[in-house]
């Protein structure tokens, strides 16, 4: 989902009246990577319509793309991006020149400056908020990433999920779309490593504050506790999720796993049996393996 979001953000260029020409032209120049022409167009657009919502998005895209810098890095081990192996006088490989990239902080600051202006001016524009969150995830600034997600959740509550997208068009099924996107970002944090568990917990708790029946967040909260060995707290959230969705296989499997780790074999068997009964072939096979281990 995050990849889809940035693509959408890059083409938020379908406007009305004369602004449509600017948006269409900027979209084309962005694809062509003609930065000089992009800058010229932005200056003309700024003079013609300085508070246009899509202008803020265009500036954000211009500076965010300009901030990305490709580089070559010397590393001790190779990977799929390695372009050249370095050998010593004996022919032994001693390192690799690896393609990599970074971000220019000054350009990033300008990108965030413009998207913040857009967000503050057009508070219902979800695309702007998600674009900023996506960018923070790309630069792996997970503290700001998390803070922006929390702010968006709180704003969603204030707006009663009445979000808009490009050209102030209403988002279809906004609550479902918003919470689904937040879940994608939580998965991103999970994949970033165990040091992100507290941030995952913060997001889950914030979602549950306003959407107490959100099963995915109850499960996320449980995962953060379970991975830190707090199995009773994990089970408290998971059993609540089970009441809401008693046939959710992921919830049932997580309950079984928490009971197993806690040493409660009887309940672990009970929930692995439910998982095997309701899950697809892959999940069923894994549950059956667990049941054989527990019953031996």
Residue 80 vs residue 232, higher pLDDT: 232
Q: Which residues are paired to 84 by β-bridges?
A: 97
Q: How far apart are CA 261 and CA 198, in angstroms?
A: 21
Q: How far apart are CA 209 and CA 212, in angstroms?
A: 6
Please give the structure tokens belonging to residue 34: 């003609």
Query: Is 90 exceeded by the pLDDT of residue 188?
Result: yes
Span 28-65, pLDDT tens digits: 999 999 999 999 999 999 999 999 999 999 999 999 99
pLDDT at res. 7: 47
pLDDT in tens, 241-276: 999 999 999 999 999 999 999 999 999 999 999 999
For residues 157 and 136, give the distance between their C-alpha atoms in angstroms, rounded to a whole number: 22
pLDDT above 60: residue 78:
no
| Whole-number pLDDT of residue 17 | 47
Predicted confidence (pLDDT) at residue 138 exceeds the cutoff of 70: yes
Looking at the predicted structure, is the pLDDT value of residue 77 above 90?
no
Task: With 0.95 as the threshold, say if the pTM is over it.
Answer: no
**83 pLDDT above the threshold of 70:** no
Mean pLDDT, rounded, for 150-160: 97
- Domain ranges within the chain, ordered by starting residue: 212-296
- In the chain, how long is the greatest CA-to-CA distance? 76
Query: Which residues are registered as beta bridge partners of 100?
Result: 71
- C-alpha dihedral, 86 to 89 to 91 to 93, nearest 10°: -30
Contacts of 218 (CB under 8 A, 6+ apart): 204, 208, 237, 238, 240, 241, 244
Exposure string of 234-253, with b = 16+ CB inside 10 Å and e = fewer, is: bbbbbebbbeebeebbbbbb
pLDDT of residue 23: 86
Asked whether 104 and 32 are in contact (CB, 8 A), the reply is no
What number does CATH give the domain 212-296?
A: 1.25.40.10
């Amino acid at each position: 989902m995050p990849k889809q979001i940035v693509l959408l953000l890059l083409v938020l260029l379908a406007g009305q009246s004369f602004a449509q020409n600017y948006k269409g032209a900027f979209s084309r120049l962005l694809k062509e990577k003609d930065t000089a022409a992009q800058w010229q167009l932005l200056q003309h657009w700024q003079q013609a319509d300085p508070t246009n919502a899509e202008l803020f998005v265009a500036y954000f895209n211009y500076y965010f793309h300009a901030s990305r810098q490709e580089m070559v890095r010397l590393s001790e081990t190779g990977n799929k991006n390695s372009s050249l192996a370095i050998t010593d006088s004996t022919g032994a490989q001693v390192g690799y020149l690896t393609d990599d990239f970074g971000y220019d902080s000054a350009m990033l600051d300008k990108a965030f400056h413009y998207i913040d202006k857009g967000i503050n001016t057009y508070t219902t524009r979800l695309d702007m908020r998600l674009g900023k969150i996506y960018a923070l995830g790309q630069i792996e600034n997970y503290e700001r990433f998390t803070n922006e997600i929390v702010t968006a959740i709180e704003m969603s509550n204030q707006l009663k999920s009445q979000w808009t997208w490009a050209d102030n068009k209403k988002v279809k099924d906004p609550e479902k779309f918003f919470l689904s996107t937040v879940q994608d970002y939580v998965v991103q944090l999970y994949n970033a490593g165990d040091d992100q568990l507290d941030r995952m917990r913060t997001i889950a708790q914030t979602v549950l504050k306003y959407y107490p029946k959100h099963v995915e967040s109850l499960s996320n909260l449980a995962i953060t506790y379970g991975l830190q060995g707090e199995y009773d707290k994990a089970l408290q959230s998971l059993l609540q999720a089970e009441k809401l969705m008693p046939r959710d296989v992921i919830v049932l499997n997580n309950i079984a796993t928490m009971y197993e780790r806690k040493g409660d074999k009887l309940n672990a068997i009970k929930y692995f049996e439910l998982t095997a009964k309701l899950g697809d072939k892959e999940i069923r096979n894994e549950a059956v393996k667990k049941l054989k281990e527990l019953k031996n």
